[in-house]
Amino acid sequence: MFNLKKELKDFDYREVEVDFKSLFPNLNISDVSNRFRHLKTDDPHETILAVIKDLWNGGYDYVLGNHGFWDAEYSKFSGHCHQCTPILGLVLSSLGFENVSYLECCRVYEHFIRTGNLEQVPPQEEPNPEMVEEFKKINRIPYCCLELFIEGKPYYISGKHVKPKDGKMLALLTPGCYDDFTGIMHHQDEKNKSGIYLKKVIPHNNPDSKNFYMQVVWNKQTFKDVGPEYFVTFLRMKLS
């Protein structure tokens, strides 16, 4: 049986296949499909946006309440990225999206852009003092995102950072965190940027390493942050 808590203690990059049952112990995939299938359209980008809207409108609570969650401490939805990411992956997979992966990440220093050196930032350097002790327990500053493919092209989503507010869907990260516009939702502050899909960050020296290109790096900067934080994938979980 896949043990995610154990896997998250190993920061060497690797790829594993994970059954959704390992993440949602009470899973009934037919129920998930029935609950969300009205959101599927011929346009995959439109479907993704509709799913994200619906999840924030009670869908996250529905999935956790009916299908359980691998981490008993987070069985109630609280907006954590490690809840949003697998739930979004589960729903999109139930609607026919293929090659969906949950990317677990840790924060690395910004100098990797110049050097290609993915050096982890220790938890003691977390800027939010309320989170330092929690992060010290897991020995990393964590974040995660979802990878999926549309017509052979990879897309990356942080479900936590696309959210409805005052009747509109907003991107909660600065425009520089997102890829060039694709799909149906523009970033509200920069129309040539997507409001959904994260930008993959490649260092200037372009290291010739298969693992590097598989180890997706993305940057996270909310509108309150003074600068971007960079996160590298150490565990790629292909969801099935």
State the DSSP string of 86-110. Answer: HHHHHHHHHTT--S-EEEEEEEE-T
Question: Looking at beta carbons, which pairs linking 169-176 to residues 24 or more positions away fall under 8 Å?
Answer: 169/49, 169/52, 169/53, 169/195, 170/195, 171/195, 171/196, 172/222, 172/223, 173/220, 173/221, 173/222, 173/223, 174/221, 174/222, 174/223, 174/225, 174/228, 176/219, 176/221, 176/228
Give me the chain's average pLDDT, please: 92
pLDDT of amino acid 150: 96
pLDDT of amino acid 205: 64
Which of 164, 175, 27 is CA-nearest to residue 90? 27
> 193-230: per-residue pLDDT in tens?
999 999 999 877 655 544 555 689 999 999 999 899 99
Residue with tokens 């991107």: 171
Q: How far apart are CA 173 and CA 42, in angstroms?
A: 28
pLDDT of amino acid 1: 64
Task: Tell which wins on pLDDT, 130 or 238.
Answer: 238
Tell me the Ramachandran region of residue 59: left when phi exceeds 0, alpha when psi lies from -120 to 50, beta otherwise: alpha
Per-residue pLDDT averaged across 121-135, rounded?
91
Structure-block tokens of residue 189:
């502050």
Q: Which residues contact 128 (CB under 8 A, 6 or more apart)?
A: none
Structure-block tokens of residue 129:
């003092």
Amino acid at 93: S
> 176-189: per-residue pLDDT in tens?
999 999 999 999 99
Per-residue pLDDT averaged across 117-129, rounded?
91
Q: Do residues 11 and 4 make contact, with C-beta atoms less than 8 angstroms apart?
A: no
Q: What is the 3-state secondary structure (H, E, C) of 63-89?
A: HHHHHCCCCHHHCCCCCCHHHHHHHHH
Which of 142, 147, 131, 130 is CA-nearest to residue 200? 147
Structure-block tokens of residue 76:
């109630």
Q: Do residues 84 and 92 make contact, with C-beta atoms less than 8 angstroms apart?
A: no
